[in-house]
Copies of this chain bind each other. A is one copy, B any other.
Amino acid sequence: MNEFLFYLDIFGIIVFALSGALMAGRYQLDPFGVVVLASVTAVGGGTIRDVILQTPVFWVVKPYYLYVILATAVLTIVLIRQPKRIPKRFLLIADALGLALFAVLGTQKALYLGAPIPVAVVLGTITGVAGGMIRDVLCNVIPMILREEIYALAAMLGGSLFILLHWLGWSDNHAMIASISAALILRLAAIYWHVSLPAFHIVEKPSKEKPSKEKGIEKI
């Protein structure tokens, strides 16, 4: 990995760890809960990518990622005090940065390890979205990918554009800057102007099914 890739990667870990720590703050978790949520958000996507590719998991090989996450979680707790109110947008922006970075970096790693092009785009998307998905599922909210505007699309666009530019002969670093920027701009535009795609909507037929006997279990 060249130096530029290395810094992008660390930056992605930091912003995703930050998004996990901010989420933990909304749920009033104790410091260890903050570290746990920051960690799963930061390493979740890359871990699933590496496990599916059956290549050594990145943070097992390079434990310094764990220190970066720990430092980010601790700094978030120390620097963000209660009286200073944090708008929800901060969490969305940290998440968008991580999404754009990891979607492209994940695609690049998968390609580099010999994955076919569509598989590389899917694995890039997984790298970008899975950490945030686990964060949201643990906090019992519907993952952003299923409720935020232009989320999976931004990740897929980033990875696909990287592959296209790479194929057009751009250097890895330039292709990366361009495709990360494109994914990020698209996602930020969706956050600020609420640009959204038309929803696919199924109206349910009034059901004649007998009511559930189960208590405390939500029906579909």
Using a CB–CB cutoff of 8 Å, the interface residues on chain A facing chain B are 21-37, 39, 47, 51-54, 56-57, 59-60, 63, 66-67, 76-77, 80, 82-83, 85-88, 91, 115-119, 122-123, 129, 133, 136-143, 145-147, 149-153, 156, 194, 196-205, 207, 209-210, 212, 214-220
Contacts and interface: CB of A to CB of B under 8 A. Distances in A.
B152 A63 contact: no
Nearest to A51: B51
Q: How many copies does the complex hold?
A: 3
Contacts of A28: 199-201, 214-215, 217
Contacts of A151: 32-33
B139 A207 contact: no
Contacts of A198: 30-31
Contact of A118 (B63, B76, B116, B140): B63
A80 B36 contact: no
21 contacts: A23-B220, A28-B199, A30-B149, A30-B150, A30-B197, A30-B199, A31-B198, A33-B145, A33-B152, A51-B51, A60-B116, A85-B205, A86-B202, A86-B204, A88-B207, A88-B209, A91-B220, A139-B146, A141-B220, A146-B217, A194-B210
Nearest to A196: B30
Q: Which 10 A-B pairs have the closest CB atoms?
A: A25-B202, A30-B197, A32-B152, A85-B205, A28-B199, A87-B205, A32-B153, A63-B118, A28-B201, A63-B116
A136 B138 CA distance: 9
A206 to B, nearest CB: 9
Given A87-B207, A91-B220, A209-B88, A200 B139 contact: no
A76 B202 CA distance: 11
